[in-house]
Amino acid sequence: MENATRAYFDKRGEVLVKNLRRRHFDAYYCADRAAALSKVLELIPEGSTVGWGGATSASQVGVQAALNAGNYQTIDRDPVSDPAERTKLMRACFDADYFITGANALSLDGQMVNIDGVGNRVGLIVYGPKHIIVVAGMNKVCPTLEDAVKRARTVAAPINQQRFGLPNPCTGTGVCADCLTETSICNQILITRNCKPAGRIKFVLVGEELGF
């Protein structure tokens, strides 16, 4: 990474951490993936039950692999192909001690935007485990909440759709069509603007480009 980009992320990260803490989130800035992995593991006591959704950023940091290899009880749907079993594991995450997720976008004033097809991830963020850990690269940070919503819908969702390959308009065009298809992956849009109870949601911001 160029020094100018790193300095930009570092300074922007400092501002975002302050604004997240003002909204009663716990927030930490880590300069790189190695530091981020260390921070996430520091936040989760050994023996804890830990689940995750499709958290690409956390995976790039190495969180899921470290948890599966460590002294934790993991709820890992990733290797499961049977839809019924995957759904069972997704529901089991509501009773986990910790849930690992990402963010589709963050506004610089400290608000998070996530967009979901099934809704398990946003449901868990709203009223799931006692502890939520969000791993997010600084490429997800937008100047305003309006920009963050736009990023979630017009950048993150169409890129994710390329992975899923469902018969939605953006599969072919890469452009959001504001679709109402039965297979849409944009059915719930969650804005998390404040943390209650305080500290339940913890952000580990990474001074790199991660996820989509």
Q: Confidence class of residue 164 from pLDDT cuts 50, 70 and 90?
A: confident
Q: Mean pLDDT throughout 35-45? A: 98
% the chain with pLDDT above 90: 94
Mean pLDDT of 20-33: 98
Q: Is residue 56 part of a domain?
A: yes
Residue 169 lies in a domain: yes
Digit-coded pLDDT (tens) for 107-118: 999 999 999 999
Where helices occur in the chain by DSSP H, the ranges are 3-22, 33-43, 56-61, 63-69, 83-92, 120-127, 145-151, 157-164, 169-173
The answer to whether residue 1 scores a pLDDT higher than 90 is no
Question: How many domains is the chain partitioned into structurally?
Answer: 1
This prediction has a pTM of 0.96
In a domain, 20, yes or no: yes
Q: Is 77 within a domain?
A: yes
Q: How much is the mean pLDDT over the chain? A: 96
211 lies in some domain: no
Q: What are 167-211's pLDDT values in tens digits?
A: 999 999 999 999 999 999 999 999 999 999 999 999 999 999 999
The CATH number of the domain where 97 resides is what? 3.40.50.10420
Range of the domain at 202: 3-206
